[in-house]
Amino acid sequence: MSLSFFDQFMSPTYLGIPLIALALTLPWLLFPNPSARWLNNRLLTLQNWFMGQFTSQMFSPINLGGHKWALLLASLMIFLISLNMLGLLPYTFTPTTQLSMNMGLAVPLWLATVLMGMRTQPTAALGHLLPEGTPVPLIPVLIIIETISLFIRPLALGVRLTANLTAGHLLMQLIATAAFVLLPLMPAVAILTSVILLLLTMLEVAVAMIQAYVFVLLISLYLQENV
């Protein structure tokens, strides 16, 4: 029984064909397309306002050289939010619960920020490995520690997103199973459990948006260090 709880995180297949590509493509079909009219509809206006607020807040502390990343990070933010929110629907698959996919997003973006820093300002980029005023005997140890922490960053990005979404989905399934089992035995307790499940679902909606924001925010902080 305990193994069945993890079946929801398996990549779905149909006739031996993995459907994760379909799960990654579907969110883009739900976005409203820009129109040539002077006045847009409410959904497109809300989307434009959200993108403008997000871009201005995210890139206000970053130099002009890093503003080229605005389109990429804003698109990644909307994409992750859509994947996380669609994964909360019944009988759906959440691709962001796969560590391989999250690492595939985190590693190239982190590596791009590091390479940009090495190309534009190599002295400042390497200077992050050794804090100013470090005693001479501690210099080799601190360089090793800072190098390890630098390479752990993409792993932390992928594991954070995977762990938060996986834990939330597992907790929702456990509480839903408990409510279903307790309904014929103790209806009052089952109703209370269902209320807790409703509150947890609202919390998971917030977590789905917050985790997408944190993922992009950390990438922007790495970009700020190297631009």
Q: Give the pLDDT confidence score for residue 143 in this predicted structure.
A: 85
Q: Give the pLDDT confidence score for residue 61 in this predicted structure.
A: 82
Q: Give the pLDDT confidence score for residue 216 in this predicted structure.
A: 92
Q: Where are the alpha helices (DSSP H) in the chain?
A: 20-30, 42-59, 70-86, 99-120, 122-127, 139-182, 187-226
Look at residue 13 and give its three-state secondary structure: strand
**Domain locations in the chain?**
7-226
pTM, rounded to two decimals: 0.83
In contact, 51 and 213? CB cutoff 8 Å:
no
Q: Give the pLDDT confidence score for residue 38 in this predicted structure.
A: 67
Q: Give the pLDDT confidence score for residue 107 in this predicted structure.
A: 94
Question: Which residues in the chain show pLDDT less than 50?
Answer: 1-2
Q: Give the pLDDT confidence score for residue 1 in this predicted structure.
A: 45
